Amino acid sequence: MSLEYTADRAEVLVTNANTIAERVAALNPNARLVCVSKFKPASDIQALYDAGYRHFGENYVQELLEKSKVLPKDIQWHFIGGLQTNKTKDLAKNIDNLYAVETIDTEKKARKLNEVRVQSEKPLINVYIQVNTSGEDQKSGVSPDEVLQLAKVIVDECPKLHLEGLMTIGSIAQSTSSDENQDFKTLVQVSQKLEAELGTKLRLSMGMSSDFEEALRQGSSSVRVGSNIFGSRPIK
């Protein structure tokens, strides 16, 4: 897996990322930009790393494993794809610089992730509970009513997991609406209730290429942007 990139490609990537970063900072200077690099070559990530970017998101465990082996060890990897329980071991055991798993939606996955991290004597992992705020059947995530129970399992029973926040993926209808995004509003409301229960402050991971600015206006502290930085098609 080559890490070499052309000057032209680097210029495109860095210009795109800097533009997004400026738009993010204009709405929330403290928000985090996670560059979503799924299906993109490791050389693209290296180009952005060399420009100072450190937080990258991947959707597939095997792709993340392969990239993490060759890329710098101080990259902060975010796993943002659907997590199968049988892939949890690979994710927890083999990526030392795994910053966060943003798609925890069952107690079983949380317990397994914690168990493997304990057994392998790895540092703790930040996790986000994925919430299905739109109620769509095809969407992963717990319902808003189930968040507290899962959060308590993570906080009380999983010492190798740190509950950093909540994550959602807005529906297409809400993400393309010119009005307030009701899916984001729901996550904010769920977060406020959970913060009151736990007595702690949580981050919100919501907003992607098409709706990250609205997400920031509604309180997001972490946005996941891919196509606006890397382009919509893989670079071979």
Q: What is the CA radius of gyration of the chain?
A: 17
Q: End-to-end distance of the chain based on CA atoms, in angstroms?
A: 12
**Residue the block writes with tokens 């060759």:** 70
Confidence of residue 232 (pLDDT cuts 50, 70, 90): confident
**Tens digit of each residue's pLDDT (9 = 90 or more) over 122-157:** 889 999 999 999 888 788 899 999 999 999 999 999
Q: Is the overall model pTM greater than 0.75, yes or no?
A: yes
Q: Of 72, 76, 11, give the one whose Cα is nearest residue 42.
A: 72
Residue-wise pLDDT for 43-73, tens only, equals 999 999 999 999 999 999 999 999 999 999 9
Report residue 100's pLDDT band, with 50, 70 and 90 as the boundaries. Answer: very high
Decide if 44 contacts 9 (C-beta within 8 A): yes
| Token pair recorded at residue 47 | 């180009």
CATH fit for domain 7-230, picks 3.40.50.300, 3.20.20.10, 1.10.10.60, 1.10.3720.10: 3.20.20.10
